[in-house]
Structure 1
Amino acid sequence: MKTMKIYAVAAAFMFSIGFTSCEAVKNTNNTQRGVAIGAASGAVIGGVLGNNVGKGGNTALGAIIGGVVGGAAGGLIGNRMDKQAQKIDQALPGAEVERVGEGIKITLGENSVNFDLNKSTLTSTAKANLDKLVPVFNEYPDTNIQIFGYTDSSGADDYNLKLSEQRAASVKTYLSGKGISSARIVTIGRGEADPIADNSTAEGMRQNRRVEFAITANEKMIQEAQQQAEKK
């Protein structure tokens, strides 16, 4: 299995105990990260991580950071997300699975979920790969799923925005048709914003035509984690 990326959202913790390197943060466990996040205000976290969140925070990474619970409850949520992320990584090797704070960011590019040129219709390959995610999503029903659609930079801005919205909606419709509750899913179109590669090359444009997921705890999971944390 490929190595998943793991990002600790615990800048305040790093400062408070004198860590001076990213390696030190990586070596903390999820409970420590959760407690650290709980000790910092949202404003501090937002200021430290603002450059990574994207425009207006309306990205998969921004959605995850915006849903931080923190404290011991956040650590418990993080442990549950570890297990889900590992299963997603195993089920769909073509996806890029990243553990971020208390959530999961999934990037689905042309190797996993792709579309016909200038269309929002899912290809047979895309459907087959989404089918692999359905059992994992069903196994962890107490999570919210935000789907972000993207395009490359070819075409007008308004056209790309609409196309990205339609692509994200196509993924939601397909997953809902496979039994995933539509109430769990929110879709956002980002057009050509937030490129992850150089749009001046064909390869870069292919990478930018993608769908990203933000997986976060829903209210039920948060309440259960808080109750469990209080008993300890």
Structure 2
Amino acid sequence: MRQGTKLMYAVVAISLLLAACKGMTKTQKGAIIGTTSGAAIGGVIGRASGNTALGTIIGAAVGGTAGVLIGKQMDKQAEEIKKQVPNAKVERVGEGIEIEFESKVLFDFDASGLKTEAKTSLNELATVLKKYPDTNIEIQGHTDNKGSDAYNESLSQRRANAVMMYLIDKGIQLSRMNPKPMGENYPKYSNDTEEGRSQNRRVEFLITANEKMKSDAQKQAGSSK
């Protein structure tokens, strides 16, 4: 069977699995998804669905009992972020956390310099991130569809880099972070209206377990058997 066909079946299988898991908690979903998928499948799902957060977080999943333990830690961290960072949209996804900042909170139009209110929000986020050092943080820059593809990719990279550099200044280790330019390729909102375009000009944080957290969870899962 061709690799492309295998991946197509995997995407369909995961889609059916997610539909069947509607009644479950985010933590329970994470345990199942992690057991049935890996980095390659996560990447395919992310591209197919247009949801890069879903793809990244599924790709980093451990699954099983260890995945449940990681999910519980992520539950706690997500609740703290919701309380500490009122300007952010926070969602638990599988074994990870997705955080979205609208660009108007962080930057002026067509600019990559952080606004004063942006620094306040990032200060609040950094406070929580420092309490949970065993996580990886992907920082995605997104734009609307105005301008050329090349310009939008460059702008999204500058914005992701600006956020990363500010967090480094606030004590978050560089090794934990990965800035990624997404350009205009993954809109969450309609680019047909000014409001939708404004919402697409955003930065997203994808928080997943690092190798230490995964190892600790697997050891804990093994000792509880």
TM range (shorter): 0.7 to 0.9
Question: How much has 1:160 moved relative to structure 2?
Answer: 0.5
Partner residue in 1 for 2:33 = 37
| Residue 60 to residue 33, structure 1, CA distance change in 2 (3 Å) | closer
Question: How much has 1:193 moved relative to structure 2?
Answer: 1.2
Structure 2 residue matching 1:87: 3-state secondary structure: helix
| Residue 186 to residue 35, structure 1, CA distance change in 2 (3 Å) | closer
Question: How much has 1:186 moved relative to structure 2?
Answer: 0.3
The CA deviation string for residues 144-179 of structure 1, in whole angstroms up to 9 with x for no partner, is 000000111111110000000000000000000011
Contact 1:34/1:72 (<8 A) preserved: no
Question: How much has 1:61 moved relative to structure 2?
Answer: 2.4
Question: How much has 1:42 moved relative to structure 2?
Answer: 3.8
After superposition, where does 1:182-193 map in structure 2 within 5 Å? Answer: 182-193=174-185
CA–CA distance in 2 between the matches of 1:23 and 1:58?
A: 18
Q: Does 1:59 align with 2:52?
A: yes
Unpaired runs of at least 5, structure 2: 1-12
Partner residue in 2 for 1:86 = 79
CA–CA distance in 1 between the matches of 2:106 and 2:26?
A: 35
Same amino acid, percent of matched pairs: 51
Question: How much has 1:114 moved relative to structure 2?
Answer: 2.1
Q: Quick one: which amino acid aligns to residue 92 of structure 1?
A: V
Unpaired runs of at least 5, structure 1: 1-10
CA–CA distance in 2 between the matches of 1:225 and 1:74?
A: 8
Kindly indicate which of the two structures has a greater share of residues assigned to helix: 2
The CA deviation string for residues 197-227 of structure 1, in whole angstroms up to 9 with x for no partner, is 1112110111000000100000110110000
Partner residue in 1 for 2:188 = 196
TM-score normalised by structure 2 residue count: 0.84
| Residue 154 to residue 174, structure 1, CA distance change in 2 (3 Å) | same
Q: Quick one: which amino acid aligns to residue 99 of structure 2?
A: I
Q: Quick one: which amino acid aligns to residue 220 of structure 2?
A: Q
Structure 2 residue matching 1:54: 3-state secondary structure: helix
Q: How many residues align?
A: 211
Question: How much has 1:94 moved relative to structure 2?
Answer: 1.9
Q: Does 1:178 align with 2:167?
A: no
Question: How much has 1:23 moved relative to structure 2?
Answer: 3.9
TM-score normalised by structure 1 residue count: 0.82
Q: Does 1:144 align with 2:140?
A: no
Partner residue in 2 for 1:208 = 200
RMSD: 2.6
